[in-house]
Structure 1
């Protein structure tokens, strides 16, 4: 009798244990599809400016493509969050992937027919930006909806490998394919988008219940959730500064490398240090999260980023800059997973799409300003002086966060699956304590 009860208990325990992530076919199929789609996006980000330059020989026109894509994504991003919460997410993802596939495929067709125009490419930029706005939040939600809470960090780390790998492989692959023919990179991007579309068609993943998805105070609900949480406000403030200053520092670093005799190819390889570091950093997520709470980790990484931004002033040239970018990049996956965990543990599912959209809008809103201010400073001062000025402003802006009790006392969300629905999004960092 005892042996029978013991065997029964062991069988129940095995049934309660989650399937290992490598054997979670829904997660792996979605991950492969989204990894393919992300690679296609990265190829396009490099190939489209090259095509515009080949077509118009105008740098400003090449810049217009990226500006149109980013502007459309930002303008529609908040509404994309609403759609993610109020419509069937799988259907929306299928529609956005199909739209992006159509837009990308139109480019090689126009090239072959010798009908390609700048207006056509700008319309493609707008279409791609719209698919980012509506598909982006759902991509984040889809992978996480098929993973149990106790495997979330592992799943998010694997997802970070997708982003880092695509960021590293996309630009050189785009350059190689463009050398084979102007239409070739876009055929490749369309093919990878087709794989992403296939995974969305084949794999089912949950959406919020219809009666819940209709609530939530409208399009601005995501901003209200962030405003009501001291921890999310503080964390997003620091991440906003990191993004803003990162963009502002890029141009003076490039100018300094050129002045030191580094060629275009060498500059590209040097700047790839961040992507290489991020790829390596996917293995460090759990260790960094065990080493410090979310607020402390965020603050430390921000100060490391500030110090690393002075690397071009040190001996070693491109090698030193690559090493500094590698160090900063290695911490990036831990920060992205940190933000993901904080949002997912504090926000109910029917609001997550809008919170993600609001988060993306807040994190990227300052990037155009950072680039503009950097250009103004370089018109008046040397690259070294600009670098020091931006870094000094970054350091001063970090001081309030450094002494923030909310960040210092923040702890990781509880592992209890019930925490997803039990946590009040308006609570402060104390609500994340075990």
Structure 2
């Protein structure tokens, strides 16, 4: 799979991305939306763990926030390809304001309930799936084709930057007041919605029949439309195997994230210590996003990236089991984020460039289900292991499992071929 070659020279009349008003508005609004989601993503498990002391209760809420990656993505992809993307994104932001606002109100009045937190986390994450798929498809309609790799690299850096800032901010806001992370998120979602209203260009190509097909006919076609995205992805031999590998690594990283939270608590450290770990860790992800293009130019075979990444992850996670120093843990976590960001840039550019506009949502959703749908399993399994073994033993087990995945990636026959830019698998390299 080659994703680093430009689609062609940038037209002379095309302004650089930094002067593309429509893209900057979309990028800025989505930045606020991603930041809000990062703030609440760390606030949910922190509130539960610090106020109930139960790793299982923490994993229940974390799992509820991850279930949409498995349950919602496929139908969301079909909806995104059928409905007006701008209106759908506005509806998502409105729904997320209501969800996080309800949590802020409940916490401000002292009515903490795990079931309410789980329901709000599920709702917020479900709407985030719709928003993310619609936003990714919209980008190609707001920038010239030759600028698409740069635009999507900036999007990856935005997501990593949101993690770098949002997770520590979420920890600090939660320490200052339980309702503050959710009040902050509500304001950010309102501003994100406002930015969408200022964009003048359409978010998709002209679609015949959009908005005029009868409701019954739409419902009947939904399963067929979802199947189109799955079939397209299934025909890509290399991608099929690669996303299976990614799914397995995502299970382990969800377990690792919960293990780090519990490790801080078991050490008797204040919750603010977690801000140090995730803050340093976020730097690695941001650097990986910014360096992704250069790394891919040096390592052109994606199979090499997959295997080297798994080996690096195993070593980094193994080292996490040897230290309890927050700065050292953050530095090791940063290394894992660097590798993951390089992968994400490659996958995003390839998928958006090669997929027809009318299939953007469904193919991205299919890839998301295969690659990230197992996140909820990792969160739930992590809670069980943490309750039974504790944080340190769980980290050792994760490192061993990652090492096994590195060996399997090296031996997998489907990863010995690569995908051309036209989406068809060429002959495997010798």
TM-score normalised by the shorter chain: which range applies? 0.7 to 0.9
Q: Alignment partner for residue 393 of structure 1, among 389, 401, 409?
A: 401
2, 20, 34: which is aligned to 1:24?
20
The structural deviation recorded for 1:89 is 1.1
Q: Extract unaligned runs of 5+ from structure 2.
A: 1-8, 211-217
Q: Give the whole-Å Cα distance in 1 for the aligned partners of 2:257 and 2:118.
A: 25
Q: Report the Cα offset of residue 220 of structure 1.
A: 2.6
After the TM superposition, which residues 114-263 of structure 1 pair with which residues of structure 2 at under 5 Å, given as runs? Answer: 121-203=117-199, 204-211=201-208, 217-250=224-257
Asked if residue 285 in structure 1 is aligned to residue 292 in structure 2, the reply is: yes
Distance change (3 Å), C-alpha of 1:381 and 1:105: closer
Greater length-normalized contact order (CA 8 Å, ≥ 6 residues apart):
2
Identify if the C-alpha distance between structure 1 residues 196 and 264 changes in structure 2 by more than 3 Å, giving closer, same or farther. Answer: closer
Structure 1 CA distance for aligned equivalents of residues 57 and 393 of structure 2? 30
Q: What CA distance in whole angstroms lies between the structure 2 residues aligned with 1:390 and 1:174?
A: 26
More displaced 10-residue stretch of structure 1: 141-150 or 45-54: 45-54
TM-score normalised by the chain length of structure 1: 0.80
1:428 maps to which of 407, 418, 425: 425
Q: 1:255 to 1:343 in 2, by over 3 A?
A: same
Within the alignment, does 1:105 sit opposite 2:101 as a pair?
Answer: yes
Q: Report the Cα distance in structure 1 between the residues aligned to 2:401 and 2:175, rounded to whole angstroms.
A: 42
Query: For residues 259 and 130 of structure 1, what CA distance do their matches in structure 2 show?
Result: 32
* Greater CA drift, 31-40 or 369-378: 369-378
Q: Residue 46 of structure 1 aligns to a residue in which SS?
A: helix
**Residue 121 of structure 1: CA displacement?**
4.5
RMSD: 3.6
The separation in 2 between residues aligned to 1:80 and 1:260, in whole angstroms, is 41
Task: Give the C-alpha shift of residue 93 in structure 1.
Answer: 0.9
Residues paired across the two proteins, number: 409
1:328 and 1:181, CA in 2 relative to 1: closer, same or farther beyond 3 A? closer
Q: Distance in 1 between matches of 2:47 and 2:390?
A: 32
| Corresponding residue of 2:77 | 81
Distance in 2, matches of 1:79 and 1:253, equals 33
Structure 1 alignment gaps of length 5 or more: 1-12, 414-422
Counterpart-to-counterpart distance in 1, 2:54 and 2:268: 26
**How has the CA–CA distance of structure 1 residues 409 and 260 changed in structure 2, closer, same or farther, with 3 Å as cutoff?**
same
Greater C-alpha radius of gyration = 1
Deviation at 1:37, TM superposition (A): 0.9
In structure 1, C-alpha distance between the alignment counterparts of 2:30 and 2:307, rounded to whole Å: 31
